[in-house]
Amino acid sequence: MLMQRFCAPPPEIAGVQEPVLTSSISGSASAMAKLILLLTLSLVVTAHARADVKVEKIAYKGWRNCYQVSNGEVALVVTSDVGPRIISFGFVGGQNLFKEFSDQLGGTREEKFQLRGGDRVWKAPEDPVATWAPDNMPVEITITPNGLIAKAPVEPLTSLQKEIEVRMAASGTEVIVLHRITNRSFFPLEYSAWALTMMAPGGIAITGFPPRGKHPANLEATNPLVMWAYTNLSDKRWVFTKKYLALRQDPANSEAQKLGMFNPNTWGAYVLNGEAFIKRAHANSGETYPDFGCSFETFTNNEFLELETLGPLIKLPPGKTAEQVEQWSLHRNVRLTALTDDAIDAFILPLLRAGASAN
């Protein structure tokens, strides 16, 4: 059974109390109550959407069958010739904050996986075969009152079926994005839903650590900080403060970098040309997460930077679905003066508070 819920009492994001969404699969007695909360949230979002959210079929950069979802302030583009992918997101008439590989736009039915750009859903933990299965076939689009659902065919290689649902607010910049992977095989499979957003080059990614403490009052470990074999902590693109982790995207540096961490209030921000994209998700410390317990990961090379959130590892019977729910928002006039606790508190923390109050 799929669920979303508001957590109460709400946990902290970098010291901010806020309600956040979570997703899980459960067979417990509390499932019905949580399902009621999901239905209530969906009704609230739908009631606010009304006719103010418009879905329009458009041509986009070589693809003839894309769908634009817009409320007049922000707009995103979902492909249907391939995917599921959200290839563009930005203010109406403004920049696309997502990366696009120009030589891969408009293509379809390629034999191998194409990065293309934008937002996608993958199976975690990563492996070179099942995770990198091509998503180059047309997807089914279902229009909803406040957005759409893009559902891919079952992957022959993995027997997995991927879909992305978009729920846009009637006004403002808030979007709920649900990333789903369904087991269509005849056997139980263990995996998590992994939501990866490729950001346009030249910006700065920021995420927050769980609330910090002091020695000797706080002796217990709080969270993992996970490295990959190619991680180089001496790389100048990394910036560590007491409360935050930042990563610069540098088009002149082709060396790949990646780190992962766990935070019950998982969030990542990307600042580019005075605008900020923020994605948030909830993680449950009582569940097992991929990659030594990561709910958030960030990757960069010379072409793009990724903000990634991961759901819990779940053993799914045939026909069952893993879901990762993210809350997105866009913000203007974000001028980071420095990558310090004080500067991030001043320019990014209010955006997280605004997102908390909106939800």
- SS3 of residue 124 by DSSP: strand
C-alpha torsion sign, points 324, 326, 24, 14:
positive
Which amino acid, one-letter code, is at 211?
A: P
Q: Is the pLDDT of residue 47 over 90?
A: no
Tokens standing for residue 269 = 């921000």
Q: Is the pLDDT of residue 45 over 80?
A: no
Region 339-355 average pLDDT: 92
How far apart CA 352 and CA 267 sit, in angstroms, is 9
The 10 Å Cβ neighbour count of residue 315 is: 11
- Measured between alpha carbons, how far apart are the two ends of the chain, in Å? 23
**Site of tokens 């679905």:** 321
Average pLDDT over residues 93-108: 96
Residue 87 has pLDDT above 80, yes or no: yes
Instruction: Please check whether residue 63 is in contact with residue 150, taking contact to mean a CB–CB distance below 8 angstroms.
Output: no
Query: What mean pLDDT comes out for the span 314-333?
Result: 98
Query: Residue 296: which of 186, 183, 210, 233 has the closest Cα?
Result: 210
Q: Could you read off the pLDDT of 189-243 as tens digits, one per residue?
A: 999 999 999 999 999 999 999 999 999 999 999 999 999 999 999 999 999 999 9
Instruction: Give the phi and the psi of residue 321 in degrees, each rounded to 5.
Output: -125, 135
Regarding pTM above 0.95, the answer is no
If one compares 198 and 41, the residue with the highest pLDDT of the two is: 198
Is 19 a residue whose pLDDT tops 50?
no
Return the CATH number of the domain spanning residue range 2-358: 2.70.98.10
Given a cut of 80, whether residue 4 has pLDDT beyond it is: no
327 within 8 A of 20, measured Cβ to Cβ:
yes
Query: Which residues have CB under 8 Å from 110's CB, separation 6+?
Result: 134, 136
Tokens for 152, please give them.
């891919």
Cβ-based neighbours of 199, under 8 Å, separated by 6 or more: 97, 98, 99, 205, 249, 270, 272, 277, 304, 305, 306, 307
Whole-number percent of the chain with pLDDT over 70: 84
Instruction: Flag whether pLDDT at 123 surpasses 70.
Output: yes
pLDDT at residue 354, rounded to an integer: 80
**Better-predicted residue by pLDDT, 357 or 265:** 265
The pLDDT score that the predictor gives to residue 353 is 82
Angle (CA) 22-27-31 rounded to 5° is 55
Domain boundaries, the chain: 2-358
Q: What is the dihedral sign for C-alpha 91, 298, 13, 204?
A: negative
> What SS3 class is residue 108?
coil
CB 258 within 8 A of CB 299: yes
The pLDDT, as a whole number, for residue 347 is 95
Calpha distance 173→275 (Å, rounded) = 12
Task: Quickly tell me which residue has 């120009």 as its tokens.
Answer: 102
Taking the CB of residue 84, how many other CB atoms lie within 10 A of it?
A: 27
Which pLDDT value is given to residue 137? 96
15 pLDDT tier (thresholds 50, 70, 90): very low
3-state DSSP helix/strand/coil percent for the chain, to nearest 5?
15, 40, 45
Q: What is the mean pLDDT of the chain?
A: 89
Q: What is the mean pLDDT of residues 288-310?
A: 98
Mean pLDDT for the stretch of residues 88-92:
98
Q: Which residues pair with 166 in a beta bridge?
A: 148, 177
Alpha-carbon gap, residue 174 to 358, rounded angstroms: 8
